[in-house]
Chain A
Amino acid sequence: MLLVIEQILNGLQFGLLLFLLAAGLTLVFGIMDLVNLAHGSLYMMGAYFAATFVAWTGSFVLGIVLALGASLLLGIVLEFVVLRHLYGRDHLDHVLATFGLILFFNEAVRWIWGPAGLALPLPSWLTVPVQIIPGIYYPAYRLAIIVVALAVALLLYVGVMRTRVGMLIRAGASNREMIGALGINIKLLYTLVFGLGAALAGLAGLMQAPILTVQIGMGENILILAFVVIVIGGIGSIRGAFLAAIFVGLIDTLGRAFLPNLLRQVLSGAAASTAAPALSSMLIYLLMAIVLVVRPEGLFPASKR
């Protein structure tokens, strides 16, 4: 029972991280109609920035704030230099161009930080276990991720649904020509949205960094998962991305935790321990395939919100 609660919390935490990544992706996809494969690179850059700034300033919090700012800035520069020239192009062009960006970022990181991974050590106040319910302890850092991600999700919801900028963002998603004609500076809006998405991806990367090592290509696997999330949730829908991310995070984590034991009852030990991670990774793609076949527009299509 203890293990189950812990794994559910882990799944929730992973799902929320996925949401941070997917939120930026789905906003960019839904509003600018841009397929951005380089979103995973922004996630990676966030982690590298954090590892660097934390080591440089010696303070965890200050380092993270600086890393967030750097991610935001990187996103804005990237949008300004490259991506704004891709709006209105074919999706295929987006895939190719942003694939080129992935190559570039991976090599740039290898050039600047070297091929070995970095570690982002946690400050001591985040490593203590916290008693969440009597008798059940959970690492403070993972708990912090859940709290921060939930807060960001809430802020995002309020920001998009209740503020003027959010209204413009939603309007831009429904009809970009029209809000341009109404005198809104659509270019600035796009840059803003992209920067926001980059900052969210950076946040996801830097929060994941202390748990995994910071390494080249760390964004590629999780990027595909984020795409799965936004496709399941319905492209352009933040609410859909949120629910799908939690769902995918839970399936992935619980599958990894409990499938090996389940499989061991039918397979030999070695075969089960190889097959189980593969099977739990497959489950997610299977889910996506089923959703797409049954509801080709995703579970919560943005057009019906």
Chain B
Amino acid sequence: MKTLFNVRNAVSALLVAGLVLLPLYSQLSGNIFILTLFTRIVILALAAASLNLIMGYGGMISFGHAAYLGIGGYAVGILAQEGFGSGFLQFPVALAASALFALVIGALSLRTRGVYFIMITLAFAQMAYYVASGLARYGGDDGLTIYKRSDFAGLINLSNRVQFYYLCLVCLLAVLFLIWRIVNSRFGLVVQGLRSNEQRMQAIGFPAKRYKLVCFIIAGMMCGLAGALLANNTDFISPSIMYWTRSGDLMVMVILGGMGSLFGPVVGAVVYLLLEELLSQFTEYSGLIMGPLLLLVVLFGRGGIMGMLGRFSRG
């Protein structure tokens, strides 16, 4: 019998409360930087959460998830460049483009498994990266500056830091809620069953590939949303956002926080990005500490931070 109160849930609740109250702290202390930093963290947490859906629950280890960040971002950037500034157009296009990309690469990639799946998703993301570098009209390698953030017709002003932060946070919480509902639905149970034993699920009569593909597309759309937000946050989009090390960063966040736990990726994103920020203030060479730290997490911290908290609460 699962109890509602345990260390993991307490940490998750504290984290959400902290994220909700953050703008208040920022206003009171006059520290604007922390709000900017956490806007980025919340957006990347959203991306990591979407990766967790396929990687943690679906067992599909995608090494090309950053591609959707780029696709969502470029949807916003290109439309803004062409004079379509409305967010009501940009965001649906970002989602649709991500879904389409996920449909195509998912349909092809899901024919392979194991290491080959990791590699083929990587290959497709690299292709997207090179396509973006080849878009001469939209800045090519140098990227594209977005002069005007998505316009939501007065409903919400994205240039206002606090409003934009809350928009990102609401998106994150909505996506987490959706993932929670998906995971506990019949569909989600089938996908998790496929992770454990695909052959057996297939023998019972579930069309394995179709379930996995739908899950893959949902995750892609969620990450596309993160991409659209990220482009608005930085007012800039460049191919480097799709580079394979970015996909690696997302994987690190998921695994650091705890794969297959709902709040794990959020915890992972907060810890990873905050640590990166803090270390870069202490030393110029943050990687000298981050790298070995990741190694230690892999070698000794099974299940990431959430896994450790789970063990801690059991004593």
Interface string of A271-305 (1 = CB under 8 A from B): 10011111101100110110011001100000000
Q: Nearest 5 A-B pairs (CB), nearest first?
A: A278-B134, A104-B291, A100-B294, A107-B287, A274-B136
User: How far is it, in angstroms, between the C-alpha of A97 and the C-alpha of B295 when the chains are bound?
Assistant: 5
A277 / chain B contacts, CB cutoff of 8 Å: 133-134
**CB pair B118 A91 closer than 8 Å:** yes
**5 A–B contacts from the bound complex (CB under 8 Å):** A100-B291, A104-B287, A111-B288, A274-B136, A281-B126
* 5 further interface pairs, Cβ-Cβ under 8 Å (given A97-B299, A228-B123, A285-B126): A92-B55, A100-B293, A110-B284, A292-B123, A296-B112
A interface residue numbers (CB < 8 A to B): 29, 35, 37, 82, 85-86, 89, 91-93, 95-97, 99-108, 110-111, 220, 224, 227-228, 231, 235, 270-271, 274-279, 281-282, 285-286, 288-289, 292-293, 296-297
**CB pair B294 A99 closer than 8 Å:** yes
**CB pair B134 A288 closer than 8 Å:** no
B245 / chain A contacts, CB cutoff of 8 Å: 99, 102, 220
Interface string of B124-135 (1 = CB under 8 A from A): 101100110111
Contact of B290 among A100, A231, A270 (CB under 8 A): A100
Contact of B134 among A92, A104, A111, A275 (CB under 8 A): A275
B135 / chain A contacts, CB cutoff of 8 Å: 274
Contact of A224 among B134, B140, B244, B291 (CB under 8 A): B244
B186 at the binding interface (Cβ < 8 Å) = no
- Mostly, the B contact residues are helix
**CB pair B133 A99 closer than 8 Å:** no
B86 at the binding interface (Cβ < 8 Å) = no
B108 / chain A contacts, CB cutoff of 8 Å: 289, 292-293
User: How far is it, in angstroms, between the C-alpha of A28 and the C-alpha of B288 when the chains are bound?
Assistant: 25
User: How far is it, in angstroms, between the C-alpha of A105 and the C-alpha of B111 when the chains are bound?
Assistant: 35
B interface residue numbers (CB < 8 A to A): 55, 61, 63, 108, 111-116, 118-120, 122-124, 126-127, 130-131, 133-137, 140-141, 244-245, 248, 251-252, 255, 259, 284-288, 290-295, 297-299
User: How far is it, in angstroms, between the C-alpha of A83 and the C-alpha of B135 when the chains are bound?
Assistant: 40
User: How far is it, in angstroms, between the C-alpha of A70 and the C-alpha of B253 when the chains are bound?
Assistant: 33
**CB pair B251 A96 closer than 8 Å:** yes
- Mostly, the A contact residues are helix
**CB pair B130 A281 closer than 8 Å:** yes
**CB pair B61 A292 closer than 8 Å:** no
Q: A85-B299, A97-B298, A104-B288 are in contact. Are A91 and B127 (CB under 8 A)?
A: no
User: How far is it, in angstroms, between the C-alpha of A96 and the C-alpha of B258 when the chains are bound?
Assistant: 13
Contact of A231 among B119, B255, B294 (CB under 8 A): B119
B136 / chain A contacts, CB cutoff of 8 Å: 270-271, 274-275
Q: A104-B287, A108-B288, A279-B134 are in contact. Are A93 and B127 (CB under 8 A)?
A: no
**CB pair A227 B291 closer than 8 Å:** no
Question: Nearest chain B CB to A124's CB is how many angstroms away?
Answer: 36
**CB pair B61 A92 closer than 8 Å:** yes
B294 / chain A contacts, CB cutoff of 8 Å: 96-97, 99-100, 103
Contact of B133 among A102, A104, A110, A278 (CB under 8 A): A278
User: How far is it, in angstroms, between the C-alpha of A85 and the C-alpha of B297 when the chains are bound?
Assistant: 13
**CB pair B122 A107 closer than 8 Å:** no
A110 / chain B contacts, CB cutoff of 8 Å: 284-285
**CB pair A111 B285 closer than 8 Å:** yes
B123 / chain A contacts, CB cutoff of 8 Å: 228, 231, 285, 288-289, 292
B255 / chain A contacts, CB cutoff of 8 Å: 92, 96
CB-based nearest B residue for A93:
B298
CB-based nearest A residue for B141:
A274
**CB pair B248 A274 closer than 8 Å:** no
User: How far is it, in angstroms, between the C-alpha of A296 and the C-alpha of B124 when the chains are bound?
Assistant: 15
**CB pair B295 A101 closer than 8 Å:** yes
**CB pair B299 A235 closer than 8 Å:** no
Q: A110-B285, A293-B108 are in contact. Are A100 and B130 (CB under 8 A)?
A: no
B127 / chain A contacts, CB cutoff of 8 Å: 282, 285-286, 289
User: How far is it, in angstroms, between the C-alpha of A282 and the C-alpha of B132 when the chains are bound?
Assistant: 11
B244 / chain A contacts, CB cutoff of 8 Å: 220, 224
Contact of A227 among B114, B119, B251 (CB under 8 A): B119
**CB pair B119 A292 closer than 8 Å:** yes
User: How far is it, in angstroms, between the C-alpha of A92 and the C-alpha of B294 when the chains are bound?
Assistant: 13
Question: Nearest chain A CB to B122's CB is how many angstroms away?
Answer: 7
Question: Nearest chain A CB to B125's CB is how many angstroms away?
Answer: 9
User: How far is it, in angstroms, between the C-alpha of A100 and the C-alpha of B61 when the chains are bound?
Assistant: 18
CB-based nearest A residue for B276:
A103
Contact of B291 among A89, A95, A101, A275 (CB under 8 A): A101
CB-based nearest A residue for B243:
A220
Q: A86-B298, A95-B248, A99-B252 are in contact. Are A227 and B120 (CB under 8 A)?
A: no
CB-based nearest B residue for A81:
B295
Question: Nearest chain A CB to B242's CB is how many angstroms away?
Answer: 12
B299 / chain A contacts, CB cutoff of 8 Å: 85-86, 97
Q: A91-B61, A224-B122, A292-B120 are in contact. Are A106 and B114 (CB under 8 A)?
A: no
